[in-house]
């Protein structure tokens, strides 16, 4: 905890003064352009990866960057998505997975989660991803971690489309969905390309957009 406390002190003395005007503006409201859904993994820092400032991203994090399909049972992700899309009016939603994801390893080996019942139930939202990989490659184990990680991003985007606020904005062209996978070791970000029907380097995908 000591380094956290020192970090707060440094922020207040060294960082805040240089950005005082921006923080004072943010104190009266927010207007983010992007809802960024990613994993709770401590190695992932959305603002660092995207080089964005406070107020630019509305961030939702959980184990496995999961978006439960819409239901009448309210949950934190459902409420946050609805608020970001319907109230804040974000124009983009990014679902960002990452390499070496412990949640994806758990989804591939649910039998290993017997002592983590809530984690096991939560990762049931990844079952479509593991089943797709199993159908494509004949097996779904840790040797297919990359494929499951990528497929999970695509499946969570499909889940997003079941949320009424998201479906409505997509129908009017006011919202775009993006699938990313961040590679921790190299810093590379691969993005889903409809044209290529696969993930490709960001600069290639968005150059074509």
Give φ, ψ of 12 to 5 degrees: -65, -35
What is residue 97's three-state secondary structure? strand
Under a CB-based contact definition with an 8 Å cutoff, are residues 35 and 89 in contact? Answer: no
Q: Say whether 118 counts as a known binding-site residue.
A: no
Taking the chain, what is the end-to-end CA distance rounded to the nearest angstrom? 44
- Taking the C-alpha atoms of residue 148 and residue 186, their distance in angstroms, rounded to an integer, is 19
45-52, Cβ contacts within 8 angstroms, sequence gap of 24 or more: 46/96, 49/96, 49/182, 49/189
126 is in an annotated binding site: no
Known binding residue 96? Answer is no
- DSSP character at residue 70: P
Q: Which residues contact 3 (CB under 8 A, 6 or more apart)?
A: none
- Per the annotation, where are the binding residues? 39, 41, 98, 101
- Per the annotation, where are the binding residues for Zn(2+)? 39, 41, 98, 101
């Amino acid at each position: 905890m000591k380094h956290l406390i020192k970090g707060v002190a440094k922020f207040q003395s060294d960082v805040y003064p240089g950005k005082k005007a921006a923080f004072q503006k943010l104190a009266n409201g927010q207007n983010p352009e992007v809802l960024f859904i990613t994993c709770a993994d401590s190695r992932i820092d959305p603002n660092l990866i995207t080089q964005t400032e406070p107020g630019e991203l509305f961030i939702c994090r959980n184990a496995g960057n999961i978006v439960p399909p819409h239901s009448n049972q309210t949950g934190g992700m459902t409420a946050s998505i609805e608020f970001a899309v319907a109230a804040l009016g974000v124009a983009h939603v990014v679902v960002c997975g990452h390499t070496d994801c412990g949640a994806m390893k758990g989804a591939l080996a649910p039998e290993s989660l017997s002592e983590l019942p809530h984690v096991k139930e939560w990762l049931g939202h990844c079952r479509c991803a593991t089943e797709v990989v199993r159908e494509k490659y004949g097996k779904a184990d840790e040797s297919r971690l990359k494929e499951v990680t990528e497929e999970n991003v695509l499946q969570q985007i499909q889940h997003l489309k079941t949320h009424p606020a998201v479906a409505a904005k997509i129908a009017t062209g006011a919202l775009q969905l993006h699938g990313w996978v961040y590679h921790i070791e190299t810093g590379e970000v691969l993005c889903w390309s409809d044209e290529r029907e696969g993930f490709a380097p960001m600069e290639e995908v968005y150059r074509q957009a």
